[in-house]
Amino acid sequence: MPSLDDLRKRITSVKSTQKITKAMKMVAAAKLRKAQENAEKGRPYSEKMNNVILNLSKSITDKENAPKLLVGTGEEKVHLCIVLTADRGLCGGFNTNIIKKSKSYFEKIISENKTLKIITVGSKGYDQLKRQYKSYIVENISFKESKNINYFDADKVGKIIIEKFEKNEFDVCAIFYNKFKNVITQIPQEQQIVPLNEDKDDKDETGNDNDYEFEPDEDEILSNLLPKNISTQIFKAMLENSASEQGSRMTAMDNATRNAGELVDRLTIEYNRSRQAAITKELIEIISGAESL
């Protein structure tokens, strides 16, 4: 049985933890709004980019000579995985979910006897993966210094990927990130960016009859466009990720605050009970002392 003093100390400490989690929740909520806005603003660019590429790839007839970034190297031996995580913790299952998703992919690659290369973006991912997959990690990038997500950073990652591709260092490239659905739900995503997957939901079949004029020719545009597309996809993933991170942190901190509240309630009841017990005990002692006189 803890003494009254111990209980009092515990209550104060839980209360101050609660204050911190509450503050973190508010900060996350404010940041979430901004991140969400940014994600929405960034959407038209990546959508349009996708459209253009879709239209272009449709009009390419000579599949054999098409740029390798689009159709792949023809092999599937070396897989490059870009794992995008946050730089900070305390955001619930956010980082763990991405890691879990990517780990299952890694296991598949390894069991198929293919070569695996990993680039981690964000320090949390690196921390969690280095224990098990240290030998596979080829690069570890972190944008801790940059306050906001910007295209410049995404472009840096994109350039690294392109450079590696040109050196024939990998055949297939996939990125892992959390897609923001709503504040409570974030879905870990696996997206293949090299070679470009013909999208599953090919909804705009109607656009087929558009005969585009290309200037210069398709190949040249494509080879100019595809590297940009990679940066764009990474940028999109980073935006989604940051919104997800804040959402996830908000939910986690909200839960923590609530749990702390419950704990405080429970401890207070226990404190009051033992205080009352002590008083009763003293009273009994006094009364029985008086009686015996």
Partner 1 sequence: MSNLFNIDIVNPEQSFLSKDNVFEVVIPAVEGEIGILKDHIPIISFLKPGIIKVFSETEEQSFYVEDGIVEFKDNTLSVLTSSIFDLKDADKNFVSESISSAEAELSKDNIDDQKRFLLNHKVEVLKSISIN
Residues binding partner 1 (CB under 8 A)? 38, 41-42, 44-46, 48-49, 51-52, 55-56, 150-151, 154-155, 210-216, 221, 224-225, 228, 232, 235
CB 223 within 8 A of CB 60: no
Give the number of other CB atoms < 10 A from CB of residue 116.
Answer: 21
Residue 143: name the closest of 163, 120, 173 by CA.
120
DSSP string over 84-117: E--S---STTHHHHHHHHHHHHHHHHHHTT-EEE
Between CA 49 and CA 53 the distance in angstroms is 6
Q: Which of 56, 69, 91, 98 is catalytic?
A: 91
Q: How many CA atoms lie within 13 A of 46 on its CB side?
A: 19
Structure tokens at 154: 């995404």
Catalytic residue at 91?
A: yes
